[in-house]
Structure 1
Amino acid sequence: MSRKSAAAARPKTAYKATAPSGDVRVPAPGEGKRGEQGYLGYLLRQAHAAVRLTMERALADLGVTSPQFAVLTMLNAYPGLSGADVARLTFLTPQTVGVIIRNLERDGAILMTPHPVHGRIQQWTLTPRGATLLKDCRERVIALEKRLTRGLDSKAETTIRRWLAGIATDLQQDQVD
């Protein structure tokens, strides 16, 4: 059998398609194992990567990264957090949060105050500048969230939010035990 006819005899599936050069083509999101056939954990990670890249692009001209947005969001929701608390809530390393906090403080977006009892613990809060910056960021992130929920009714959105929160809650138990 010639090479050409052997190739023609193979089933043509999206995830094993070949490029004109004969190289195996990497499937696009939604194809093969990057689609409904994929592992849920992989699909969650793929979706997260797509959301994060889109968010980075939406916030770029404000000079804010996705991790900085997460830090600002958590400090707005829970004023007075320590750097270690922020790291836990944002799924970032303490070292990364330390760099982010220094940069946000330098830019006047957050302010440090010593803990009233444990003087070595630094507590962080948003400044008015930080609150304004977060407001500008949130407008863009809300637009992205609307895009994510396009086509969902409120019941489906609530179900998905509960499912995602439930995954985190359930799997967190594995880390505690």
Structure 2
Amino acid sequence: MLRKTPTITRSKSLGKTAEPGPVQVPAPGEGKRGEQGYLGYLLRQAHAAVRLTMERTLADLGVTSPQFAVLTMLNAYPGLSGADVARLTFLTPQTVGVIIRNLERDGAILMTPHPVHGRIQQWTLTKRGATLLKACRERVIALEKRLAGGLDAKAEASIRRWLANVATELQED
């Protein structure tokens, strides 16, 4: 699908006598949005593209990208508290609270009190939640295949290792 490249007009307060024409905003992959860009910006740009595609992919299932992240973590680590889920999904505790209430209301997750610390609520997937996650995962796996489409196994492993190392190294900051 061809997309029209947006233009940005400059302010008249540039102090120049002649008004320059509109500036063409580069498309993803061009200029500073391409290989010339900062790594952090490129990571954010890629994340935004993946998240938007994931949102569209999961929309008819009634699942958002953050809900998918919560379901995934609860499947991987049953019994997490809301605070743990927030840390693992990079979401605020308030956002996770809303997501958890909605998933619980829809019967996808179940709360049980912590066996020792009764005030801590632990969350696990229900059968309905596991079924929903399975449907989501099929679509997300297809997206992941698109992401890794031009990579051989060695290159994909290298990129995964690099991304994990970035998170590990910068966690200290």
TM-fit CA distance, 1:155? 0.4
For residues 95 and 151 of structure 1, what CA distance do their matches in structure 2 show? 38
Residues 111-140 of structure 1, C-alpha deviation per residue, up to 9 Å, x if partnerless?
000000000000000000000000000000
For residues 84 and 45 of structure 1, what CA distance do their matches in structure 2 show? 24
For residues 58 and 89 of structure 1, what CA distance do their matches in structure 2 show? 22
Structure 1 segments of 4+ aligned residues over 4 angstroms from their partners: none
For residues 141 and 8 of structure 2, what CA distance do their matches in structure 1 show? 39
Map of 1:96 onto structure 2: 95
Map of 1:78 onto structure 2: 77
For residues 81 and 165 of structure 2, what CA distance do their matches in structure 1 show? 26
Map of 1:136 onto structure 2: 135
Q: Secondary structure at the match of 1:88?
A: helix
Map of 1:48 onto structure 2: 47
Same amino acid, percent of matched pairs: 89
Matched, 1:170 2:169: yes
Matched, 1:62 2:34: no
Q: Which amino acid aligns with 2:165?
A: G
Q: Number of residue pairs matched?
A: 157
Q: Which amino acid aligns with 2:129?
A: G
For residues 154 and 85 of structure 2, what CA distance do their matches in structure 1 show? 31
Give the alignment's TM-score, normalised by structure 1.
Answer: 0.86
Matched, 1:27 2:30: no
Q: Secondary structure at the match of 2:112?
A: strand
Map of 2:112 onto structure 1: 113
For residues 79 and 22 of structure 2, what CA distance do their matches in structure 1 show? 54
TM-fit CA distance, 1:25? 1.4
Map of 1:158 onto structure 2: 157
Whichever structure has more helix as a proportion of its residues is: 1
Structure 1 unaligned blocks of 5 or more = 1-16
For residues 26 and 120 of structure 2, what CA distance do their matches in structure 1 show? 48
Structure 2 unaligned blocks of 5 or more = 1-6, 10-20
For residues 152 and 34 of structure 2, what CA distance do their matches in structure 1 show? 22
TM-fit CA distance, 1:33? 0.3
Q: Secondary structure at the match of 2:23?
A: coil
Q: Which amino acid aligns with 2:78?
A: P
TM-fit CA distance, 1:101? 0.1
Residues 11-48 of structure 1, C-alpha deviation per residue, up to 9 Å, x if partnerless?
xxxxxx989xx311111000100000000000000000
For residues 35 and 95 of structure 2, what CA distance do their matches in structure 1 show? 34
